[in-house]
C-alpha cells in the first residue's frame, strides 16, 4: 500500500440511535437489562457445565465454551453502546474503531466455527454412538475449541487492516451502533471494489462454509433419526438438536443478510437492525433456549439455585 492510500482520520461519529433523541434513556434501560441478562444467563450456563457431574460431556463442554464466547462477543459492542446512550456522545477514535472491528470479527468467526463443531458433535453422537467416546475424547474437544478461537485470527487481522487502509473522506458519520465493515466501506472514497470483494470472500469462507458443514451434519442426523423405530428415541434425538438449530438459524440468518446481501444504499437502517439481532438477540436466546428446552440443564439449575 502506498502512502496515497491512507488518510489520517482522528475519529468517527457513531450515529446509533441519534434519530431517537427522546428515547435515549429508555433505550439505555432496555439494553442495560438485556446486557445484564446476557451476563447472568450465559454465566450460569458456564458454571453449571463446570460443576455439575451429569453435564461433564462433550456437548455441555462446547455449550459452556459457547456461552463464554457469547459474553466476550457482546462485551465488544454492548458496553460502548450503553456509554454512548448514557452520555449521548458517540465519537469513537480511529484506533478504537479498528480494535473493536477486529475483535468483533475474531469472536464472530469463532462463534460460527464453534456452532459447526457443536453440530459435528451431535452428528457423531447420533449417527455413530458406539464410536462417540473414542472420537469425541477430551483432547479432541479441547483442540476443536482452540481451533475455533484462533484459526481465523491472522486472516481477520489482515482484513481489518485492509478496511482501515481505505481513504476515508467527507463525512465521518457511521450510521451504525458499532464499527464493522459494511457501514465503514460506505464512507470510503475512490474504488472500494477490492475491499468489498475481500469482505464478502471472508464472509463466504467463515460464514457459509461452517453453515454448509452444519447443514450436512443435520441432513445426516435427520436421516439417522428417521430410521429409528422407537418414537421416544426419535423425540429424544430431536430434542438434543433443536436448541442448537434455533441458535444457528438466529445467528446465521441475520449475519448472512448483512454480509452476503447485494449492495444497496437504502439498506443502512436494515443493516443496523440485523446487526443488533446477531449481537444481542442470539446471546439473549442462548441461555433461554438451552434452559427451557433441555431437561439436564433444568435439573442442574434446580440443584444449584436455592428453592
Q: CA quadruple 127, 132, 138, 139: dihedral positive or negative? A: negative
Q: Strands of 173-174's sheet, edge to edge?
A: 91-93, 11-14, 173-174
Confidence of residue 274 (pLDDT cuts 50, 70, 90): confident
Q: DSSP secondary-structure letter at 18?
A: T
> Tens digits of per-residue pLDDT, 217-260?
999 988 888 887 777 667 776 777 777 888 888 888 777 776 66
> Tens digits of per-residue pLDDT, 75-95?
999 999 998 888 887 888 889
CA distances for 164 relative to 71, 110, 261, angstroms: 26, 22, 22
Helix (H, G, I), strand (E, B) or coil at 92: strand
The 10 Å CB-count burial string (b at 16+, else e) for 218-249 is: beebeeebeeeeeeeeeeebeebbebbbbbbe
The arithmetic mean of pLDDT across residues 168-180, rounded, is: 82
Highest-confidence range of 7-11, 160-164, 203-207, by mean pLDDT? 160-164
The arithmetic mean of pLDDT across residues 261-273, rounded, is: 61
Rounded Cα gap, residues 219 and 281, in angstroms: 26
Domains of the chain: 9-304 (1.20.1070.10)
Rounded Cα gap, residues 22 and 198, in angstroms: 39
Short-list 159, 52, 178, 42, CA closest to 111: 42
Amino acid at each position: 500500500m502506498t502512502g496515497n492510500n491512507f488518510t489520517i482520520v482522528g475519529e468517527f461519529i457513531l450515529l446509533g440511535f441519534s434519530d431517537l433523541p427522546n428515547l435515549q434513556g429508555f433505550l439505555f434501560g432496555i439494553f442495560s437489562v438485556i446486557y445484564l441478562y446476557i451476563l447472568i444467563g450465559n454465566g450460569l450456563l458456564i458454571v453449571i457445565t463446570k460443576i455439575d457431574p451429569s453435564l461433564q460431556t462433550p456437548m455441555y463442554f462446547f455449550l459452556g465454551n459457547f456461552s463464554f464466547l457469547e459474553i466476550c462477543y457482546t462485551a465488544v459492542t454492548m458496553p460502548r453502546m450503553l456509554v454512548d446512550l448514557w452520555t449521548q456522545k458517540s465519537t469513537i477514535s480511529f484506533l478504537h474503531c479498528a480494535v473493536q472491528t477486529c475483535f468483533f470479527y475474531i469472536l464472530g468467526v469463532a462463534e460460527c466455527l464453534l456452532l459447526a463443531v457443536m453440530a459435528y458433535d451431535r452428528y457423531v453422537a447420533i449417527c455413530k454412538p458406539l464410536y462417540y467416546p473414542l472420537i469425541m475424547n477430551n483432547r479432541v474437544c479441547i483442540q476443536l475449541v482452540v481451533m475455533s478461537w484462533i484459526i481465523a485470527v491472522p486472516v481477520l487481522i489482515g482484513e481489518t487492516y485492509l478496511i482501515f487502509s481505505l481513504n476515508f473522506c467527507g463525512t465521518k458519520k457511521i450510521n451504525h451502533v458499532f464499527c464493522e465493515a459494511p457501514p465503514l466501506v460506505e464512507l470510503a472514497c475512490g474504488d472500494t471494489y477490492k475491499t468489498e470483494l475481500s469482505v464478502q470472500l471472508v464472509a463466504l469462507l467463515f460464514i457459509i462454509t461452517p453453515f454448509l458443514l452444519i447443514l450436512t451434519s443435520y441432513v445426516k442426523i435427520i436421516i439417522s433419526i428417521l430410521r429409528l423405530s422407537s418414537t421416544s428415541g426419535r423425540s429424544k434425538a430431536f430434542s438434543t438438536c433443536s436448541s442448537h438449530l434455533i441458535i444457528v438459524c438466529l445467528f446465521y440468518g441475520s449475519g448472512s443478510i448483512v454480509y452476503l446481501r447485494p449492495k444497496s444504499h437504502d439498506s443502512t437502517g436494515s443493516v443496523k437492525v440485523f446487526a443488533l439481532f446477531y449481537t444481542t438477540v442470539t446471546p439473549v436466546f442462548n441461555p433461554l433456549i438451552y434452559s427451557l428446552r433441555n431437561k439436564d440443564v433444568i435439573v442442574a439449575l434446580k440443584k444449584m439455585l436455592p428453592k
